Amino acid sequence: MDVPQQIAQLRAEIERHNHAYYVQDAPTIPDAEYDKLFRELQALETQHPELLTADSPTQRVGGKVLDGFAPVRHAVPMLSIRTETDTEASGAFNFDTRVKNALETSNEIAYACELKFDGLAINLRYERGVLVQAATRGDGETGEDVTQNIRTIHCIPLRLQDCTAEVLEVRGEVYMSRKDFNHYNEKQREQGLPTLVNPRNGAAGTLRQLDPKLSAQRPLSFYAYGLGEVRGWTMPDTHSGILDALQTFGLPVCDERAVVQGAQALADFHQRVAAKRDALPFDIDGVVYKVNSLALQKQLGFVSREPRWAVAHKYPAEEQLTVLRDIEIQVGRTGKLTPVAKLEPVFVGGTTVSNATLHNEGEIRRKDVHIGDTVIVRRAGDVIPEVVGVVKAEKILASSSKGRKARERSISSRPREIAEKRKENRKFKKKRNFEPIRTGKKRLERKERKPFNLYKFLHGHCPVCGSHIVREEGEADWRCTGGLFCAAQRKQALMHFAGRRAMNIEELGEKLVEQLVDGGIVGTPADIFRLDMDFLANLEGVREQSVKNLLKAIELSKQPTLARLIYALGIRNVGETTAKDLARHFGSLDNLKAADETLLQQVPDVGPVVARSIAAFFAESHNCQVIEQLRMSGVQWEEYEGVTVNTLPLSGKTFVLTGTLPTMSRDEAKSKIEALGAKVAGSVSKKTDYVVAGAEAGSKLDKARELGVSVMDEQGLFQLLENHLYGGQT
Ligand code: IVH
């Protein structure tokens, strides 16, 4: 095979895997394999720059930083559709009646039903199957050229499969999935950086990035729903046929669609989607009905730039305005203090919301949220409702009548206008016990303008137990120092201890824990194992059968694995994976307890922060007491007696893995090596003892040879592991 052929084959193969991963959500090869193909292609393209083309999968983030976006005149205007905001079935019936009247028919009409994605409309122009330009809708006539940013969206093919159309403009919606949105915001929050207001703003902001490298860091997705200019392609005769064809070209088309007959079926679709709206991985703001036959569409035509053949039927907004009445501070399992907004109840995203998270002090300051403000509350999917921003005074009426666009324009941090609205709302402010409302007008205003200060707000004490609150340097969250003395932490700690992935006492739910803690019956996890019929019989509203089930579950939980027990203890920063690593590494709870921070950091993936948390946990005598009490109440966890990190056969040795091993995945090899006490490092140095090399091993192997480090293959590794497992020597 010559180089151009090789390159073409690699590109096709990579695109195929891309499509499986990003469009079909069904990966066909492991990431490492994909990376290998990608690197192979990159290497060939570097050696043969003359063969590099824009539709190569290596060129998604290739562009330069722009000064601005060039205007693009749409060959076919990008129109919008009529929107009906009522949630009743009448929307569907009215539309069907209008269509039938216009067509002067009483026959049932076939409709294509789709989701109304809540993102941004985009026009993708493919010429002979290659993506040549992507533009925003703009005013419908002229949009902006955002090709560079669109190329970073992995599910958008740079080259269509089997499409030779001279021109094919594909229209659809660019959006940010809820998962990607939450993930991005979490990362930003951790670093104290600004967060995105909602997925739609996230998508809009990302497309307007001038540096494509920045866009590439904010993952977007796309669904096709229509066409623009088309030349040299014989169109199917229905809208659903077009979408099917686009799908065969490799474009993402949402599966949540249907072709139905008549108005009732439209209303049913609307209802069916409403029921699963929360469970969808992305935001929608309604459904869209389109007359399926293109011939009928043509006959129906347009009224005032809106097609007569389509309508959007909306759902209740996922964002609403309401008044922030108060801020309450909740205490989490590890003492983390989370400010929670107490809101004037508001119907948003289909339910009434009266609490919403404010995340932390930094977020409150950044959004400049104050008690009395009119705030935007967002509730989408199964995420906790949150306050996303403050609305300034004079735009409120306009925004509630004009909808989201006006509201978005009105989100502002301009202090004077916000203070105005604040003044207006203040008369609603609820009286709080520890901070009486002051009536001196000037004083109040000055006070309210100050950035929110959580320490002052709580007078330095935990609202539940009164212990001091602290914030470690560089951290966003304040914490209660009360530990298990704090009832709030105790409750959360007990729930965590009993959790399915910890001790698995599922019957011990939130309500029961509340009762047990408030009634002084259970204080520490060890107390759970002292519960009996007598203790539980008197609890209000608890049936005898539930008590029996609980006692049985408690009994069954008494023999956890060491990893589960470590996880159940609820040590800060020790999640399930770290708990497993610790169990494997130390073999017993006593070994773990005895380890200092240096020793702890020998565990793979345990850094200074985690090591400090573990050491701090065992330094607290009450934590050690709980462990003793657990032992005495008959909880027995498995231990690998006498095994310590220093006595493991390969302790002190460092391995490096490179290339693909014939039978083991890298993770498997790693855990086998680590189980014998050795470390697995990422790069080869003089300190490396062994390099395990598989197929396509790269520079690490060269480096090992250069430094004279022992190199072995998978077989050699098996031999070595076996020798050590049975006590042999190498
Ligand atoms: S069809 C001529 N279908 O809603 C018809 N639009 O005003 C063109 N949208 O901003 C639009 N999902 O970006 C259509 N399945 C869907 C849609 C959809 C979302 C957006 C579109 C535009 C607005 C329509």
Distances (CA, A) of 622 to 134, 329, 469, 520: 62, 26, 19, 17
* Cα(247)–Cα(249) distance, integer angstroms: 5
Decide if 284 contacts 229 (C-beta within 8 A). Answer: no
* Cα(217)–Cα(154) distance, integer angstroms: 12
Q: Ligand 1, residue 81: give the atom nearest the CA.
A: 7
Which stretches does DSSP call E strand in 293-450? 302-303, 306-307, 310-314, 319-331, 337-348, 351-357, 374-378, 386-390
Concerning whether 36 is annotated as a catalytic residue, the answer is no
Residue 243 in 3-state DSSP?
Answer: helix
* Cα(406)–Cα(409) distance, integer angstroms: 5
Q: What's the average pLDDT block by block, 10 residues per block, for the chain (730 residues)?
A: 93 91 84 89 93 90 82 94 78 94 96 97 97 95 94 94 96 96 89 87 92 87 98 97 97 97 95 91 95 97 91 90 96 94 92 94 92 93 89 46 40 46 49 34 49 95 95 90 89 94 92 92 92 85 88 94 94 90 90 94 89 94 92 89 62 88 87 81 88 88 90 91 59
- What local confidence, expressed as pLDDT, does residue 76 receive? 95
CA-proximal residue: ligand 1, atom 14 (nearest): 225
Distance 386 CA to ligand 1 centre (A): 27
Residue among 169, 225, 405 to mutate when testing ligand 1 (max atoms within 8 A of CB): 225
Domains of the chain: 3-61 (1.10.287.610), 90-314 (3.30.470.30), 319-438+445-453 (2.40.50.140), 487-632 (1.10.150.20), 650-725 (3.40.50.10190)
> Greatest CA separation found in the chain?
91
Nearest Cα to Cα of residue 14 among 37, 46, 42: 37
Q: Which of 116, 314, 395, 491 is catalytic?
A: 116
- What local confidence, expressed as pLDDT, does residue 419 receive? 55
Distance 220 CA to ligand 1 centre (A): 18
- What local confidence, expressed as pLDDT, does residue 435 receive? 36
Which pTM value belongs to this model?
0.69
- What local confidence, expressed as pLDDT, does residue 408 receive? 39
Residue among 76, 80, 273, 277 to mutate when testing ligand 1 (max atoms within 8 A of CB): 80
Query: Which residues, other chains included, contact 143 with Cβ-Cβ below 8 Å and sequence gap of 6+?
Result: 71, 72, 74, 78, 123, 135, 136, 137
- What local confidence, expressed as pLDDT, does residue 429 receive? 40
- What local confidence, expressed as pLDDT, does residue 402 receive? 37
Tokens matching residue 539: 């609890």
- For the chain, count helices (H), then strands (E): 30, 24
Nearest Cα to Cα of residue 373 among 438, 465, 452: 452
* Cα(543)–Cα(527) distance, integer angstroms: 21
Q: CB under 6 Å to ligand 1: residues? A: 79-81, 114, 116-117, 121, 173, 225-226, 288, 307, 310, 312
* Cα(637)–Cα(525) distance, integer angstroms: 15
Distances (CA, A) of 577 to 324, 581, 584, 590, 645: 39, 6, 11, 19, 18
Residue among 83, 115, 117 to mutate when testing ligand 1 (max atoms within 8 A of CB): 117
* Cα(113)–Cα(260) distance, integer angstroms: 7
Q: Ligand 1, residue 226: give the atom nearest the CA.
A: 1
Distance 170 CA to ligand 1 centre (A): 12
